[in-house]
Amino acid sequence: MEGPTPVSALIHAATLVVAGVFLIIRCSIIFENSESVLFIISIIGAMTSFIAASTGLFQNDLKRVIAYSTCSQLGYMIFISGLSHYSVSMFHLANHAVFKALLFLSAGCVIHGLSDEQDLRKMGGLLHIFPVSSIMILIGSLALVGTPFLTGFYSKDCILEIAMAKHNDFGNFCYYLGCSAAFCTSFYSFRLFFLTFVNKTNAYKFYIENAHEAPIKMVFPLIVLAFGAIFYGFLTRDLMIGLGSFYFNSIHTNYHNFNMIDSEFLHVLVKNIPFFFTIFGALLSLFLINCFNANKTAVFNLKMKNRIFYSFLNKK
């Protein structure tokens, strides 16, 4: 959070934080010989995805919200590795790199144009000042929450379907926590968008007077990444996951742990539960912001019990 935005984009999207996930994927032949270790990995990953997503619900720093989103998505990658589907983990890692870099760099454009302000409570009404950055953050957020036919949809839904298709206790545990994390992800993603761009402005007059859209040399990489956030998952899904794909043939999985085919034949209602959670999170975020003003929605201190709940999540 403290580093420059391009550094944050590089670290969170492609290099440092996903190194452990990549190590687990490369060491699949070792992990596959220990069921107890796979069990521990899946449980820790599922808990990470939910706890990090719930922590991001009421963060007020623009970059901090996106950073906790990264922690949550890492949980998805870890628990699907614990469920022995390493190629799906690699697919989500690659998809996540595209839209997370887009989110961080778009956030950097907003911070740059607002005199280095990062507090969501001091923003609002910026849609007409940052038209390109707002569209890019919206595309990145839609890909992050798993909107159908965007990049995040192809890997995130596949992860949750495989967890449900395990038909055992820890598979169900991962599925329910993963769906709960999907709800939290949708809530804080749309909260970020509404508080930054749509809500009535809460910024200082000096910030608004000097606010400006990023120059073309900053906007051009966003446009490239936006195309990736829309099309990358669709174009590479057959290369990364499924029988006979490149990664399936290069990663070791014991036959009794493989259940991707079972996940294809789940009931349609079960397949759509993560999507319903996502829609509910977005609508709840919209409802809270429309019913209360920006400060009360950001601080959520309407009653003492809400203040305790807010503080618990905000203070990590």
What is the average pLDDT value for the chain, to the nearest integer? 89
Residues 266 and 164: their CA atoms lie apart, in Å, by: 8
In this prediction, residue 85 carries a pLDDT of 93
Residue extents of the structural domains in the chain: 5-314
The C-alpha atoms of residue 136 and residue 105 are separated, in whole angstroms, by 9
72-76, 82-86, 248-252: lowest mean pLDDT where? 248-252
Say whether pTM exceeds 0.85: yes
DSSP 83-128: TT-HHHHHHHHHHHHHHHHHHHHHHHHHHHHTTT--BGGG----TT
For the record, the structure tokens of 287 come out as 């409802």
Residues 6+ away with beta carbon under 8 Å from 227: none
Place of tokens 């998805």: 76
pLDDT tens-digit series, residues 171-210:
999 999 999 999 999 999 999 999 999 888 888 888 888 8
Q: How many residues does the chain have?
A: 316
Amino acid making up residue 278? T
Say what percent of the chain tops pLDDT 90: 63
Highest mean pLDDT among 37-46, 108-117, 258-267: 37-46
Whether residue 294 has pLDDT greater than 50: no
CA distances from 281 to 89, 145, 179 (A): 24, 10, 11
Q: How many helices (H) and strands (E) does the chain have?
A: 16, 0
Query: Taking CA 177 as the corner, what is the angle to CA 164 and CA 290, rounded to the nearest 5 degrees?
Result: 120
88 or 203: whose pLDDT is higher? Answer: 88
Residue 2 has pLDDT above 80, yes or no: no
Closest CA to 85 of 52, 45, 47: 45
> Residue 89: is its pLDDT beyond 60?
yes
Count the neighbouring beta carbons within 10 Å of the beta carbon of residue 149.
10
Exposed, middle or buried by CB within 10 Å (0-12, 13-18, 19+), for 239? middle
Could you tell me the maximum CA-CA distance found in the chain, to the nearest angstrom? 63
> What's the one-letter identity of residue 91?
F
Interaxial angle between packed helices 62-82 and 19-26, expressed in degrees from 0 to 180 and rounded to the nearest 10: 10
Instruction: With beta carbons less than 8 A apart as the criterion, state whether 43 and 59 touch.
Output: no
Q: What percent of the chain has pLDDT over 70?
A: 94
Rounded Cα gap, residues 273 and 178, in angstroms: 11
Tell me the pLDDT band of 296, cut-offs 50, 70 and 90: low
pLDDT band at 133 (very low <50, low <70, confident <90, very high): very high
Q: Is the pLDDT of residue 59 over 80?
A: yes
